[in-house]
Copies of this chain bind each other. A is one copy, B any other.
Amino acid sequence: MSTLQLAPDRYFEGDAARKAIARALYEQVRALPLICPHGHVDPRLFAEPDYLFGSPVDLFIIPDHYVTRMLVSQGVGLDELGVSARDGSSVERNHRMIWQLFAEKFGLFRGTPTGAWLNHEFFELFEIREKLTADSAQRIYDQIVEKLATPAFKPRALYQHFNIEVLATTDAATDELTQHAAIHASVWTGRIIPTFRPDAVVNIDGDGWSDNIQALGRVSGVSVHDYHSFIAALEQRRAFFKQMGARATDHAALSPYTVQLSDAEAGAIFQRALAGTASLSDAQMFTGHMLIQMARMSCEDGLVMQLHTGSLRNHNPSVYARFGRDMGADIPIAAEYTRNLKPLLDAVGSDARMRLILFTLDESTYARELAPLAGHYPALRLGPPWWFHDSFNGITRFFDGVMETAGVYNTAGFNDDTRAFCSIAARHDVWRRASANWLAGQVSRGIIDRDDAHELCQALCYGLAKDAYRL
């Protein structure tokens, strides 16, 4: 049997003296409450007191495209992993067999963040003490099944166990937030808040846009027949989300392109979209225009705006055709912020009411564009490394590339951005260790002193997220 261990000083680098500084910093933030201002956990987990995670495969494999994409890259089919096909074609249903396959391939995750998060969860949450291998696979499966059946593994219990202070979900503009209402109505006191994500009604070239506009009219009570009523419906939804506890909005676009259209121009595009005659250029312009509109509304209603750009979705047509979206086949592209964001920043960059948090998939923009922008505009904060970059090296590159120019206080702390609820503690732990390690490097080189490092560590691991998201 090969023993699974988590090194107490993991992620700390350097000699013993530097590691001791890192450890001391980490110990001061290790147990702070978790601020989770952006993520994709399903609110049903908390609305249903007796929510069940399903099998270990339901929990760890099927919904996690970080896991499945690596297995796919080495020739395993999504069908072999039990992922449901859109066309109803047959996929593997035997979860013990899927788990066995996963265990045999688990070596692929060596040195990856997914491997680190999983081992953290196995060790800390499921008290597993052997490495996942072909040999140990079924024993570990049994152990996870057993744990999942206990009351301690209900999401509400885990929320307390993880010491979460607040957790934001991400919800379509047309969502009626019934799960959130149920949580509010329940005796449970956890703070689960929605986030307003209007992409599906704003991006006129998206699948099912017309249906989404219908839905928007229905839930808002505003008949959406032109640009003017569209804006009114969005304002109604934002007010509703805010009343339901939302503190932020979230926006995805292929690029951070923004443009200020006249009402007449925006209205004409919207009519073409309704008529099904909008061009690709119309769609780009409208998305770019709506980002400024959303920023304008943020100034008015105080919701913090988040912008995630740079992912070319559904890159693999065969995966998309059979399994649909969010299957690990989204690939980043290069980004440009200096020019693309200028129209938006011209409008709101210096507005004291505005808060815009930027995320990128193009690290070459950290030191070149994002840090200089955030180091000037009062409205801007930089979100933590996102998606492919939310790893120890990714976080370290972010710190090294951003902090000298932007300053720590123009960043937004950490968010886990995950749909894998059980991984949340593991992800925050990597961030906290990486923060402590980075600051220890500064202290050991005499760049900052221990007092400053302590304050910065508290900020990075707790205060900045709370402040940036106005929580």
Contacts and interface: CB of A to CB of B under 8 A. Distances in A.
A217 interface: no
Contact of A448 (B110, B369, B404, B406): B110
A448 B111 contact: yes
Contacts of A262: none
A404 B349 contact: no
A25 to B, nearest CB: 14
A367 B388 contact: yes
Interface stretch (A42-50, A222-230, A316-324): A316-324
Given A367-B389, A445-B12, A333 B329 contact: no
B333 A445 contact: no
Given A361-B368, A364-B364, A445-B11, A407 B109 contact: yes
A189 interface: no
Contact of A408 (B110, B441, B444): B110
B75 A378 contact: yes
Given A16-B15, A73-B377, A400 B393 contact: yes
A163 to B, nearest CB: 23
A391 B412 CA distance: 22
A9 interface: yes
The residue among A69, A368, A391, A442 with the most chain B CB atoms within 10 A of its own CB is A368
Contacts of A404: 111-113, 391-394
A367 B364 CA distance: 10
Contacts of A10: 445-447
B375 A364 contact: no
Interface string A347-370: 001101000000001111001110
A371 interface: yes
Contacts of A400: 393, 397
A342 interface: yes
Interface in A308-342: 312, 315-319, 328-334, 336, 338-339, 342
A316 B13 contact: no
Nearest to A9: B446
A368 B15 CA distance: 31
Interface stretch (A204-212, A271-279, A450-458): A450-458
A376 B445 contact: no
B345 A316 contact: yes
Contacts of A406: 73
A158 interface: no
A59 interface: no
Interface in A372-415: 372-378, 380, 388-389, 391-394, 397, 400-401, 403-410
A283 B5 CA distance: 56
A368 B70 contact: no
Contact of A391 (B338, B350, B405): B405
A458 to B, nearest CB: 12
Contact of A73 (B72, B339, B380, B403): B380
30 contacts: A2-B451, A5-B449, A10-B447, A11-B447, A13-B441, A14-B15, A15-B17, A69-B376, A73-B375, A73-B410, A75-B378, A109-B407, A110-B448, A111-B404, A111-B407, A111-B447, A111-B448, A112-B405, A312-B338, A332-B338, A332-B368, A333-B336, A334-B336, A362-B368, A363-B364, A363-B367, A372-B388, A391-B404, A392-B404, A392-B445
The 6 nearest A-B residue pairs measured at CB? A7-B446, A10-B446, A15-B15, A391-B404, A364-B364, A331-B338
